[in-house]
A and B are shown apart, each in its own frame.
Chain A
Amino acid sequence: MTVAAPLLTPEERVSYLAAGATLRSWLATTDHKRIAILYLISITIFFFIGGTAAALIRLDLLQPTRHFLTNEGYNRTFTLHGVVMVWFFLIPSIPATFGNFLIPLMIGAKDLAFPRLNLLSWYIYVLGGAVTVYVLIAGGVDTGWTFYTPLSTMFANGHVVAAAIAIIIVGFSSILTGLNFIVTVHKLRAPGMTWGRLPIFVWSHYATSLILVLATPVLAVTLVLLLAERVFHVGIFDPSLGGDPLLYQHMFWFYSHPAVYIMLLPGMGVVSELVSASAHKRLFGYWFVASASLAIAAVGFLVWGHHMFVAGQSLYASVIFSFLSIVVAVPSAIKVYNWTATLYKGDITLDAPFLFAMSFIGLFTIGGLTGLMLAMLAVDVHVHDTYFVIAHFHYIMVGGTVSAFFGALHFWWPKITGRLYSQFWGRISAMLIFVGFNLTFFPQFILGYLGMPRRYHIYPPELQVWHVLSSAGASILAVGYGLPFAYLLYSLRNGRAAGRNPWGVAGLEWTTPSPPPRENFLKPPVVTREAYAYPIEESGHDG
């Protein structure tokens, strides 16, 4: 760890990165680690596209009525922000990058079960992304990311067709990733890697994959129906034929609510790893945390109707959905309490990954509890479709998932690249993001309770102060998100070599060189210990 940045360490010479430097060696690779890098680069591009749209929104809302965007332009901007962030960043974010890179390493496999399908899924993602970029260039969509009928089928005049096709395409990429993970976890575990020894990261990706394969097809067919209605005037949800737009909402949320857990569960997996690693201690209550992931995946399918409490849904269905939504909070609460208890009697290093994990726990807790408020029927009637909801799901998806994504990036960066980055800047960026995030989104809870509807371009002047605070927070957030790209890229050339286990933590992935060799392990691992077994056995036994 004290080697001063040699051009290539001996371990780097056999690494997957050294296996070829041509464009072809990347674009035709079936190595899960390289595909993970391809994904990392592509989702980063979309993160910036979606982030730019967010910046435009926050800038434009500084003033209640005097805007630089037209109403139509504003609608297209927030729709683009939603579509890009949901389908092209959040859903693939952790699974397709860190899941892809780490699952085989964590279970001691050479690759995923279907490496070529894995590459295919990336190409499908790129194709879907290309169609989205076309939508952006052609002028955007004006329906909101939810594409509610009959607005989307009969009234909207944006590029609804292309946008829906892009989402259908990217859905197939999700399905292939999920399928690959399920089979890999079942069939490719190393000798001795029992289910009880799987890291929570793997458990939560397994749960995520179940949702990916079961929910995504429903979205695909729903959008196909939407296209049929818009393009061929086929009557499916058309109210003038007696059709029911609420059925569209049922189908849409049957996917889109579990999709929230697609975004969240991998983040919970990451945080479980980070908490245990930072405390250098076993995760408190392994089985509770592991089964909570599966419980969330299963119960998460039973709550979609809470998006429809004021939509004209049956009152009785609403009561049932409300109850189940409260049930699904139980496994989430278990996780939060267990993470906290893990720190007790720990040996805690206050590095950047730990700070990101702590901000995940804090922000996710606030997001989760406001979610419980939204599950309460009479409360939802007031705050539904207001900024309260916006703040709530940004706490979950940005405060939660994006924090976890950055935590994962900072924790496994040395494993992925073989280089160490500056802890100082890492900590600064974690704290900037935490502060900026809260300043951006906490005012939105208040705005929501005051009655500020979502997707409003013009708003009552008395709400301006809260909007200005929110926009100010967003500028801090932007700096926080921008910083890592500077110091992480700098570390690629100038960082010190990481060595196998720079954090001194348990986990199969830390027993192999950094970056790992093409086959992941120099010799096939045999697992004899549980995940999170501390103190760790020093020095690699397979070198």
Chain B
Amino acid sequence: MNQLKLVCQGVACDRGGRRVLNHVDFEVGSSEALIVQGPNGVGKSSLLRVIAGLVAKAHGSLELEGGMAERSVAEHSHYFGHLDALKPLQTVLENLSFWRNFFEPADFGDGKVRESMSEMEALETLGIEHTASLPAGYLSAGQRRRLSVARLLVVPRPIWLLDEPTSALDKASEEVLLGLIADHINAGGVVIAATHLPLNLPNTKFLNLSPVTTESEHMFAGEDLDDYFDEDEQDEG
């Protein structure tokens, strides 16, 4: 079986006119998990969003070896962020089947798309099958979260990008989720998770991010410009 390998080299990214990531390098392959750690505001979420193709990188390269050639990294990935992407006026089942039908599945590097769960199987796995015909607006925060997880189960994609995956989940649901993530890893998937809390996952690597001191060149804050502004001062002062 072919192996997937996500290689990230020298990635930098700007958000809000500020450099939040610089020189990020890592490799993570099939059946591996990468846990992204670091203090608040260090760019954990930004890194996941760069991989998901939602935020443009300023420098560096991000490549998936062994993936489908014509597809980007983002198109191999599931992104599980803070927002649940649910429409409160549609039923739980409508919400889930929309994403199941809409998302393009991706193979795990072996050239064939895997079978995925049906909507009801996924809801059962997560213990919310009784809500299937209710509008999603009636769900509690934890249930919404679980419905959001169900999306990852109904469309096969090898890379899971998880941003604080256990937030708003109780102990039992967290166990279920961790079990699902572990299953995904064991099935040859790739997991990249940003988290504060320790996650008990097999085959784990850690990536520690630290605050960036370089400025975005878009903000004209570089060293060479200092010379200009200093000269300016000497002339005028």
Q: Do A and B bind each other?
A: no
B residues in contact (CB < 8 Å) with A: none
